[in-house]
Chains A and B, each alone.
Chain A
Amino acid sequence: MKTSHHLKKTFFTRGRAPDCPIYDLHGHMGPYHGLHINRETAAQADAALKRAGVRLLAFCHHSALAAPDIGNADNIKAVRAFPDRLRAYCGINPNYPDQVEKDVASFDRYADVYVGFKFHPSMHGIPVTDPRNAPAWQFADARALPVLLHTWGGGPTEGHPAVRKAAERYPRAKILLGHSCHDSWNEAIQLVKDFPNVYLELCAVMDERGILERFVGELGSKRIVFGTDYPWFNHHYYIGAVLGAGLSEDDCRNVFYRNAEKILKIKRR
Chain B
Amino acid sequence: MTLSFFDANLCFGRPIQAVYQPAETAADLQRVMAHNGITKGLVWHIAQREYAASEGNRLLAKAIAGRKNLFGCWAILPPQTDEVITPDFFRRMKTRRIFALRAFPTLHNYIINRVVFGKFLVEVTERRIPLMLSVEKASGGWPAIYNLLAEFPNLTCIFCDIGIWNSDRFTWPLLENYPNVFLETSLLALEDAGIEETVARYGAERLLFGSNFPERYPEAAMLALLHAAIPAAAKRKIASANLEGLIKRVRL
Residues of chain A touching chain B, judged by Cβ–Cβ distance below 8 Å, are 8, 11-12, 15, 34-39, 48, 51-52, 204, 206-211, 213, 228, 230-241, 243-245
Interface residues of B in 145-203 (CB under 8 A from A): 164-166, 168-169, 187, 189-194, 196-197
Residues of chain B touching chain A, judged by Cβ–Cβ distance below 8 Å, are 19-21, 164-166, 168-169, 187, 189-194, 196-197, 213-224, 226-229
Determine if B218 and A244 form an interchain contact, defined as CB atoms under 8 angstroms apart. Answer: yes
Contact pick for B21, options A8, A11, A210, CB 8 Å: A210
For residue B214, which residues in chain A have a CB less than 8 angstroms away from its CB? 209
In the bound complex, CA of A211 to CA of B217 (Å): 11
In the bound complex, CA of A15 to CA of B190 (Å): 16
Determine if B192 and A51 form an interchain contact, defined as CB atoms under 8 angstroms apart. Answer: no
In the bound complex, CA of A208 to CA of B161 (Å): 12
Contact pick for B215, options A12, A38, A209, A245, CB 8 Å: A209
**What would 19 A/B residue contacts be, using CB atoms closer than 8 Å?**
A12-B226, A37-B166, A38-B166, A207-B190, A208-B216, A209-B216, A210-B20, A211-B20, A230-B192, A232-B166, A234-B193, A237-B189, A237-B190, A240-B221, A240-B224, A241-B217, A241-B220, A244-B217, A244-B220
Contact pick for A240, options B166, B169, B192, B219, CB 8 Å: B219
B79 to chain A, nearest CB (A): 35
A55 to chain B, nearest CB (A): 17
Contact pick for B216, options A12, A39, A207, A230, CB 8 Å: A207
B2 to chain A, nearest CB (A): 9
Nearest neighbor of B219 in chain A, beta-carbon distance: A244
Contact pick for A234, options B19, B168, B192, B217, CB 8 Å: B192
Determine if B229 and A51 form an interchain contact, defined as CB atoms under 8 angstroms apart. Answer: yes
Instruction: Decide: A234 near B219, CB < 8 A? Known: A34-B165, A210-B21.
Output: no
Nearest neighbor of B171 in chain A, beta-carbon distance: A36
In the bound complex, CA of A91 to CA of B217 (Å): 32
A197 to chain B, nearest CB (A): 29
For residue A211, which residues in chain B have a CB less than 8 angstroms away from its CB? 20
For residue B216, which residues in chain A have a CB less than 8 angstroms away from its CB? 207-209, 241
In the bound complex, CA of A265 to CA of B229 (Å): 33
Determine if B217 and A48 form an interchain contact, defined as CB atoms under 8 angstroms apart. Answer: no
- Number of cross-chain contacts by CB at 8 Å: 106
Determine if A234 and B191 form an interchain contact, defined as CB atoms under 8 angstroms apart. Answer: yes
Determine if B222 and A240 form an interchain contact, defined as CB atoms under 8 angstroms apart. Answer: yes
Determine if B223 and A243 form an interchain contact, defined as CB atoms under 8 angstroms apart. Answer: yes
Determine if A234 and B21 form an interchain contact, defined as CB atoms under 8 angstroms apart. Answer: no
Determine if B215 and A234 form an interchain contact, defined as CB atoms under 8 angstroms apart. Answer: no
Determine if B191 and A232 form an interchain contact, defined as CB atoms under 8 angstroms apart. Answer: yes
Contact pick for A36, options B169, B187, B223, CB 8 Å: B169
Instruction: Decide: A12 near B192, CB < 8 A? Known: A204-B164, A210-B20, A244-B218.
Output: no
Determine if A35 and B169 form an interchain contact, defined as CB atoms under 8 angstroms apart. Answer: yes
In the bound complex, CA of A228 to CA of B191 (Å): 10
For residue A35, which residues in chain B have a CB less than 8 angstroms away from its CB? 165-166, 168-169
Determine if B166 and A237 form an interchain contact, defined as CB atoms under 8 angstroms apart. Answer: no
Contact pick for B220, options A38, A206, A213, A231, CB 8 Å: A206
Determine if B223 and A12 form an interchain contact, defined as CB atoms under 8 angstroms apart. Answer: yes
8 more contacts with CB within 8 A, not counting A207-B216, A240-B221, A241-B220, are: A15-B227, A35-B168, A36-B166, A52-B227, A233-B192, A234-B194, A240-B219, A245-B217
For residue B229, which residues in chain A have a CB less than 8 angstroms away from its CB? 51
Determine if B165 and A232 form an interchain contact, defined as CB atoms under 8 angstroms apart. Answer: yes
For residue B224, which residues in chain A have a CB less than 8 angstroms away from its CB? 234, 236-237, 240
For residue A239, which residues in chain B have a CB less than 8 angstroms away from its CB? 223
A35 to chain B, nearest CB (A): 4
Q: Which 10 A-B pairs have the closest CB atoms?
A: A210-B20, A240-B223, A244-B219, A244-B217, A38-B193, A15-B227, A241-B220, A35-B166, A240-B220, A240-B219
Determine if B227 and A209 form an interchain contact, defined as CB atoms under 8 angstroms apart. Answer: no
A228 to chain B, nearest CB (A): 8
Nearest neighbor of A212 in chain B, beta-carbon distance: B217
Instruction: Decide: A15 near B226, CB < 8 A? Known: A204-B164, A240-B220, A240-B221.
Output: yes
